[in-house]
Amino acid sequence: MSRLIELVGITKVFGTQTVLDNISLYIRQNEFVTLLGPSGCGKTTTLRIIGGFEQPTSGGLLFNGQNLLSTPPYKRQLNTVFQRYALFPNMNVAENIAFGLKIQKASRGEIQTQVANMLKMVNLEGFEKRNVASLSGGQQQRVAIARALVNKPKVLLLDEPLGALDLKLRKEMQVELKAMQQSLGITFVYVTHDQEEALTMSDTIVVMNEGKILQIGTPEDIYNEPNCAFVANFIGESNIIPGLMIEDYRVNFCSREFKCIDKGLGKNTNVEVVVRPEDVEITSPESGVLTGVVENVIFKGVHFEMRINTQNFIWKVHSTVQAQKDSTVGITIKPELIHVMPLRGATPLANSNGFGSHLAASLLHGDNNAPGEKVAE
Amino acid sequence: MMHLKRFYLGLMLFFMYAPILVLMVFSFNDSRSRNTWGGFSLRWYVELFNDPHTQLALRNTILIAIFSTILATIIGTTAAVGIDKLKKRSRMVIMGFTRMPVMMPDIVTGLALMILFLFGFRIVGFGRLGFGTLLIAHVVFNVPYVILSVIPRLRQLDPNLYEAALDLGSSPIRAFVQVILPELWPGVITGAMLAFTLSVDDFMVSFFTTSPGVQNLSIRIFAMTRRGVDPRINALSTLIFVAIMLMLFIINRRDQRLIKKQQSEV
């Protein structure tokens, strides 16, 4: 698993605004990497720097160990699927797909077979002569993917390619894209703000906010072991409660002391405690560590979504067991399901200060998933 | 009320078109008189085309129109692409400067150009007003019209189109010619046709920027009227009027078709 693309300390400043702040990360061959974050977090700018449409203010970009920054976009061995497809309106479907091949001076017969193969792959057989404006959003999306993949790029960059599609189509395309990536063995760099999409498709997720990388890891890592409150809240729902780390393995929140498995945060340190709604267990009032009143119950199909008020905090709880509205219940949380996060700004990890690539490396390889590792430095 | 509306519209059109109608009718008048009808004849048209000065003026008008249109279209289109890429504030400033000459009185443009040319000749030590300066002047007043018709097309363009072409391996020039230019064509053609029409039509700017030796049609008419109104002038004016009307008609028809086409695409 060699490093195909490497970003080293990339910073991008537009005017007075720092869009990317010292980003370091690498992407391995055949990996499906998703840059995930809210709008304005710098994920698209990162993709545009890799594609060559934007030059970083400082930092380096390596492709197979070679400097890529001085290579213009039309000489880079990567192709892009743009957010609004950017199909050429003056060309029909076949001409759009053939555009890259014509530039490579492929023979006529070669072009014809390749275009036919691509159309078959994206399920658009017989669409050769169609005007691109007459296609639906999903079909345009497929043409855009075919137009990029026909050039056999080493890397495919995708900028929120499913953003304009309806939910059902989006789910189908997620599965198809993932299948394509696996069968073709191409590295995908995917940009989205949709956490579910990221969890579904990615080998590696890079969570970004405000121009910084917050966490890099597998979907499981990111979901189960978020390294800060922002990631916990952005990926799925979370209860985020202010707390006090008394010492290793002991944390106080909601005026109670809980056992936990986190260490290395110091003694009597202010922290944030993150608990997933599905990790909150409802018990009888007597056996719960906390007691609270059920304020609200909503049936969601697979589970019930409840709000439980325990005086100092209103808990979001997902459970297959329904509690009665206005009844008093108990709450317990298993020690391994309590995630203690250092406060923002105090964390050694949330900022990718300095090079940070060793951090990226340790997180990327995921060879050590011990929860305590996330605060180790 | 309906009758009043109709009457008012009729009156308006009458005042607008009566002069040109009278002129056109009298261009076919066999008599030399300006107010008595002497029977239908094409003799003034024949005389007009046998007049070597008019032939030369016609040739100048057409050459100037063709060359100034080509130059203004190339300059205007490339300028529009550049302006479109500017940041918002600089773009607003440049667009303001672009609209200014359109609204400037022709006499000011003409006079200013003449002074500029004469000043330039003084500095380089040679040169005189003539075909060259006439051509430059026409390019100058045509460029803004081309820019103003191309910019809206550029604004409608998907901002990623050019990048998509580069991404697929196309050089910047190839991307512009194969992807961007086809999208701009309608605007470019409209701009070129406007430029051609304006060039054929122009008198004031031409008058100041040429020498008596090089006349275009409008200057020729002006020169002829100074020696008394000649029915040949009626014939020539009629021809210019018909030509310009034809051009405007074609431009408008094209615009309407484009609008319809766009609406059907949406």
Q: DSSP for A286-354, please give it.
A: TT-SEEEEEEEEEE-SSSEEEEEE-SS-EEEEEESSPPPTT-EEEEE--GGG-EEEEPTTT-SSSS--S
- Residue A374: pLDDT above 80? no
CA of B157 vs chain A CAs: smallest distance (Å): 10
Question: Hey, what domains does chain A have and what are their CATH numbers?
Answer: 3-223 (3.40.50.300), 238-343 (2.40.50.140)
Q: What's the token pair of residue B92?
A: 């607003």
Query: What is residue A344's predicted lDDT score, i.e. its pLDDT?
Result: 65
- Residue A352: pLDDT above 70? no
In angstroms, rounded to a whole number, what is the distance separating the alpha carbons of residues A76 and A31? 18
Query: What is residue A301's predicted lDDT score, i.e. its pLDDT?
Result: 87
Distances (CA, A) of B265 to A328, B52, B260: 61, 52, 9
Q: Do A273 and A339 form a contact (C-beta atoms < 8 A)?
A: yes
B138 found inside a domain: yes
Residue of A73, A90, A133 lying closest to B167 (CB–CB)? A73
- Would you call A259 helix, strand, or coil by DSSP? strand
Long-range contacts (CB closer than 8 Å, 24 or more residues apart) made by B168-174: B168/A74, B168/A79, B168/A99, B168/A100, B168/A103, B168/A147, B168/A148, B168/A151, B169/A74, B169/A75, B169/A100, B169/A103, B169/A104, B169/A151, B170/A74, B170/A99, B170/A103, B171/A74, B172/A74, B174/A103
Judged by a CB distance cut-off of 8 A, whether residue A92 touches chain B is no
Find the helix or strand (DSSP H, E) in which A156 lies.
strand A155-159
In angstroms, rounded to a whole number, what is the distance separating the alpha carbons of residues A260 and A336? 6
Residue of A72, A82, A147 lying closest to B160 (CB–CB)? A82
CA of A147 vs chain B CAs: smallest distance (Å): 8
> Which residues on adjacent β-strands are paired with residue B34?
none
Query: What is residue B261's predicted lDDT score, i.e. its pLDDT?
Result: 73
Query: What is residue A79's predicted lDDT score, i.e. its pLDDT?
Result: 94
Best to test chain B binding among A53, A103, A132 (most B CBs inside 10 Å): A103
Mean pLDDT computed over A207-217: 94
- Residue A7: pLDDT above 70? yes
B48 found inside a domain: no
Cβ <8 Å between B171 and A74: yes
User: Judging by DSSP bridges, how do beta strands A269-275 and A339-342 pair with one another?
Assistant: antiparallel
Give the pLDDT confidence of B94-107 residue by residue, as tens digits: 999 999 988 999 99
Q: What is the reported pTM?
A: 0.76
- From chain B, pick out residues whose CB is under 8 angstroms from the CB of A55: none
- Residue B64: pLDDT above 80? yes
In angstroms, rounded to a whole number, what is the distance separating the alpha carbons of residues A99 and A146? 11
Judged by a CB distance cut-off of 8 A, whether residue B237 touches chain A is no
Cβ <8 Å between A79 and B168: yes
B16 found inside a domain: no
Query: What is residue B2's predicted lDDT score, i.e. its pLDDT?
Result: 77
Give the pLDDT confidence of B247-264 residue by residue, as tens digits: 888 888 887 887 777 666
**Mean pLDDT in chain B?**
90
Which of B203, B204, B188, B206 has the alpha carbon at shortest distance from B254?
B188
Query: What is residue A1's predicted lDDT score, i.e. its pLDDT?
Result: 55
Cβ <8 Å between A151 and B169: yes
Highest mean pLDDT among A308-322, B24-38, B141-155: B141-155
- From chain A, pick out residues whose CB is under 8 angstroms from the CB of B183: 89-90
Mean pLDDT computed over B162-189: 93
Mean pLDDT computed over A317-324: 89
Mean pLDDT computed over A133-144: 91
- From chain A residues 275-314, the ones with a CB under 8 A of any chain B CB are none
Mean pLDDT computed over A193-204: 92
- Residue A322: pLDDT above 90? no
Judged by a CB distance cut-off of 8 A, whether residue B180 touches chain A is no
In angstroms, rounded to a whole number, what is the distance separating the alpha carbons of residues A277 and A280? 6
- From chain B, pick out residues whose CB is under 8 angstroms from the CB of A89: 183
Judged by a CB distance cut-off of 8 A, whether residue A133 touches chain B is yes
* Of A270 and A354, more confident: A270
Q: What's the token pair of residue B231?
A: 């029915």
B183 found inside a domain: yes
Count the domains in chain B: 1
How many CB pairs lie under 8 A apart between chains A and B? Answer: 60
Query: What is residue A233's predicted lDDT score, i.e. its pLDDT?
Result: 86
Which of B163, B174, B178 has the alpha carbon at shortest distance from A72?
B163
Cβ <8 Å between A151 and B168: yes
Query: What is residue A362's predicted lDDT score, i.e. its pLDDT?
Result: 39
CATH code: domain of residue B139? 1.10.3720.10
- From chain A residues 31-70, the ones with a CB under 8 A of any chain B CB are 51-53
Long-range contacts (CB closer than 8 Å, 24 or more residues apart) made by A244-253: A244/A268, A244/A269, A244/A270, A244/A271, A245/A269, A245/A270, A245/A271, A245/A340, A249/A335, A251/A338, A251/A340
- From chain B, pick out residues whose CB is under 8 angstroms from the CB of A51: 163, 167
Mean pLDDT computed over A341-361: 46
Long-range contacts (CB closer than 8 Å, 24 or more residues apart) made by B18-25: B20/B241, B23/B234, B23/B237, B23/B238, B23/B241, B24/B234, B24/B238, B24/B241
Residue type, B113: L
Best to test chain A binding among B90, B158, B168, B176 (most A CBs inside 10 Å): B168
- What confidence tier does B159 reach under pLDDT thresholds 50, 70, 90? confident
B49 found inside a domain: no
- What confidence tier does B33 reach under pLDDT thresholds 50, 70, 90? confident
- From chain B, pick out residues whose CB is under 8 angstroms from the CB of A151: 168-169
DSSP code at position A264: -
**Mean pLDDT in chain A?**
86
Judged by a CB distance cut-off of 8 A, whether residue A72 touches chain B is yes
Mean pLDDT computed over B53-69: 93
Q: Where are the alpha helices (DSSP H) in chain B?
A: 2-27, 43-50, 52-85, 88-103, 106-124, 131-156, 161-167, 172-175, 181-201, 204-209, 217-225, 231-265
Q: Look up tokens 């028809």; give the residue.
A: B253
**Which domain does B143 fall in, by range?**
60-265
Cβ <8 Å between A103 and B166: no
- What confidence tier does A204 reach under pLDDT thresholds 50, 70, 90? very high
Cβ <8 Å between B163 and A73: yes
Cα-based angle B205, B210, B212 (whole degrees, multiple of 5): 125
B195 found inside a domain: yes
HEC string of A48-90 equals: HHHHCCCCCCEEEEEECCEECCCCCHHHCCEEEECCCCCCCCC
Q: Do A102 and A89 form a contact (C-beta atoms < 8 A)?
A: no
pLDDT > 70: percent of chain A: 91
Give the pLDDT confidence of A147-184 residue by residue, as tens digits: 999 999 999 999 999 887 888 888 888 998 999 899 88
Judged by a CB distance cut-off of 8 A, whether residue A102 touches chain B is no
- From chain A, pick out residues whose CB is under 8 angstroms from the CB of B165: 88, 99
- Residue A360: pLDDT above 70? no
Mean pLDDT computed over B38-66: 90
- From chain B residues 144-163, the ones with a CB under 8 A of any chain A CB are 158, 160-161, 163
* Of A163 and A53, more confident: A53
Query: What is residue B221's predicted lDDT score, i.e. its pLDDT?
Result: 86
Q: Look up tokens 């700018």; give the residue.
A: A45
- Residue environment code for B69-87, b if the CB has 16+ CB neighbours within 10 A, otherwise e: bebbbebbbebbbebbeee
Judged by a CB distance cut-off of 8 A, whether residue B183 touches chain A is yes
Q: What's the token pair of residue A211?
A: 């121009």
Which of B149, B178, B168 has the alpha carbon at shortest distance from A89?
B178
CA of B178 vs chain A CAs: smallest distance (Å): 9
* Of A343 and A373, more confident: A343
B203 found inside a domain: yes
Query: What is residue A353's predicted lDDT score, i.e. its pLDDT?
Result: 36
- What confidence tier does A300 reach under pLDDT thresholds 50, 70, 90? confident
In angstroms, rounded to a whole number, what is the distance separating the alpha carbons of residues A212 and A350? 8
- What confidence tier does A329 reach under pLDDT thresholds 50, 70, 90? very high
CA of A128 vs chain B CAs: smallest distance (Å): 19
- What confidence tier does A365 reach under pLDDT thresholds 50, 70, 90? very low
B10 found inside a domain: no
